[in-house]
Amino acid sequence: MDIVHTPALLEETVQYLGPRSGAELMIDATLGEGGHSFAFLSRFPGLRVIGIDADAGILAIARERLQVFGDRVRFYSLWSHDFFANPPHDAGRPDTILIDLGVSVYHYEKSGRGFSFRKDEDLDMRIDPSQGESAADLIGRLGEKELADLLYHNAGERYSRRIAGAIVEARRRGAIRRAAVLAGIVARAVPSGSAFHPATKTFQALRIAVNGELERLPSLLEDALKNLKAGGRMGIISFHSAEDRIVKRFFRDKSGASGNRDGVSGGSRDSTSRRDTPICRNRDHKAVRLLTRKAISPGEEERRANPPSRSARLRVVEKMYDEECAS
Ligand SMILES: C[S@@+](CC[C@H](N)C(=O)[O-])C[C@H]1O[C@@H](n2cnc3c(N)ncnc32)[C@H](O)[C@@H]1O
């Protein structure tokens, strides 16, 4: 078992989501190679974890890595919004939920699915390769304007029109089915000179589209919050601004914090301290309290030691009450 991903913002995640009582249940809704879960399970012997990942390949790695924890861990090979929309009856409601969005270093380095512009691999990019349309099929199907819009909206690519034009031009000569071929087309279409590879944003935008990452996020957040116990905490780590905007707005709406500079909702503090019984509140009360006023970013040291973490943003909320029992 070869672990290649270093968990982002690990200490901050432990600080906010570490158990407050001994026997808690955490759902790691984007398990990956299990880096966060491994640290939580090692440090908190009473903790149980449910680990979910839509990629069966990476889930197998996590399963092997976490087997030392025996029946303290259960695994689900699923999209996490599907899990939360219809949780197994015996799963139990979690005290904490961690959602570390996006893909793992494993996907770029080891999956062989064309996530990286540096590799000569099939241009697939599906997290779950058993369903949906590959990146190669997507760029073969979309019209030039749709492609340009996708690059601009998903990744803020400033040369979106030029790149879309170059892709459409190139595919007249034959389907673009390899990651390295696409990277070359993009590199020739835009001015060089940036510190990043010119295809960085194109690849990011396509991966987001192929996996429906922005479309899935609102229902994932909504259903995860419903699942969480009253008094429980939910932390989201996002890696690009479109994603972070959705998380930020969702938490703001749920906390009623817009215009409230300290970010704390109207609910009373003591309402979160009784953890065992559902806490019922009138609908006027806010569903969550923001535990992070601003998103937490990695410090200088982490960015140096783990460059893929550099764009990570962690936001954490505490659930104030169960909406199901509000009247
Ligand atoms: C950033 S990685 C997680 C890394 C993990 N925290 C660790 O420390 O090893 C995100 C993982 O979540 C998975 N994933 C992304 N979105 C998902 C979703 N909506 N449902 C289930 N799995 C998802 C990806 O396949 C990937 O393995």
Pairing of strands 313-319, 288-290: antiparallel
How far, CA to CA in Å, does 228 sit from each of 144, 157, 293?
43, 36, 21
Least confident of 30-44, 126-140, 142-156, 254-268: 254-268
Which protein residue's CA is at the shortest distance from atom 12 of ligand 1? Answer: 30
**Distance from the alpha carbon of residue 51 to the mean position of ligand 1, in angstroms:** 10
Check: CB of residue 294 under 8 Å from CB of residue 260: no
How many Å apart are CA 41 and CA 166, to the nearest integer?
A: 49
Pairing of strands 96-100, 25-28: parallel
147 compared with 240, residue with greater pLDDT: 147
* Protein fold of 128-210: DNA polymerase; domain 1 (1.10.150)
Which protein residue's CA is at the shortest distance from atom 4 of ligand 1? Answer: 32
Which protein residue's CA is at the shortest distance from atom 27 of ligand 1? Answer: 32
104, 243, 306, 311: residue to mutate for ligand 1 pocket, most atoms within 8 A of CB:
104
Closest to 124 measured CA to CA, from 111, 142, 143, 141: 111
The two tokens of residue 64 are 């092997």
- pLDDT at site 192: 78
- pLDDT at site 264: 35
* pLDDT of 105 strictly over 70: yes
- pLDDT at site 256: 85
Question: Which residues 6+ apart lie within 8 Å of 289 measured at CB?
Answer: 255, 264, 265, 267, 272, 317, 318, 320
Query: Left (φ > 0), alpha (ψ -120 to 50) or beta: where does 4 sit?
Result: alpha
Query: Left (φ > 0), alpha (ψ -120 to 50) or beta: where does 156 sit?
Result: left
- pLDDT at site 322: 80
Nearest ligand 1 atom to alpha carbon 10: 8
Least confident of 15-29, 114-128, 182-196, 227-241: 182-196
Question: Quick one: what percent of the chain has pLDDT higher than 70?
Answer: 90
- pLDDT at site 22: 80
Average pLDDT over residues 38-53: 97
How many Cα atoms within 13 Å fall on the side-chain side of residue 136? 15
pLDDT confidence of 325, banded at 50, 70, 90?
low
How many Å apart are CA 22 and CA 18, to the nearest integer?
A: 10
pLDDT confidence of 259, banded at 50, 70, 90?
very low
**Distance from the alpha carbon of residue 216 to the mean position of ligand 1, in angstroms:** 13
Residue type (1 letter), 294: K
Pocket residues: Cβ below 6 A from ligand 1: 5, 7, 30, 32-36, 52-55, 58, 79-81, 100-104, 127, 216, 220
127, 238, 313: residue to mutate for ligand 1 pocket, most atoms within 8 A of CB:
127
How many Å apart are CA 74 and CA 171, to the nearest integer?
A: 45
* pLDDT of 280 strictly over 80: no
Q: Tokens 């709406």 — which residue? A: 253
* φ, ψ (nearest 5 deg) of residue 304: -70, -45
* Per-position DSSP letters for 231-287, written without gaps between them: T-EEEEEE-SHHHHHHHHHHHHHHHT-TT-TT---SS-GGGGT--SSPPP--TTS-S
Check: CB of residue 59 under 8 Å from CB of residue 196: no
Task: Supply the mean pLDDT for the chain.
Answer: 90
* pLDDT of 268 strictly over 80: no
10, 53, 79: residue to mutate for ligand 1 pocket, most atoms within 8 A of CB:
53
pLDDT confidence of 277, banded at 50, 70, 90?
very low
DSSP-derived 3-state class of residue 110: coil
Total-model pTM: 0.90
- Rounded to the nearest 5 percent, the helix, strand and coil shares of the chain are 45, 10, 45
CATH number of 10-105+213-325: 3.40.50.150
Check: CB of residue 121 under 8 Å from CB of residue 257: no
The string of pLDDT tens digits covering residues 48-79 is 999 999 999 999 999 999 999 999 999 999 99
Q: Tokens 């540096």 — which residue? A: 118
Domain range summary for the chain, segments of one domain joined by +: 10-105+213-325, 128-210
* pLDDT of 180 strictly over 70: yes
* Per-position DSSP letters for 55-67, written without gaps between them: -HHHHHHHHHHGG
CA quadruple 57, 60, 238, 206: dihedral, nearest 10:
0
- pLDDT at site 70: 97
251 compared with 268, residue with greater pLDDT: 251
Average pLDDT over residues 304-313: 93
Nearest ligand 1 atom to alpha carbon 53: 22
Counting every residue, how long is the chain? 327
* pLDDT of 260 strictly over 60: no
* φ, ψ (nearest 5 deg) of residue 6: -100, 125
- pLDDT at site 196: 80
* pLDDT of 267 strictly over 50: no
**Distance from the alpha carbon of residue 255 to the mean position of ligand 1, in angstroms:** 26
* pLDDT of 262 strictly over 90: no
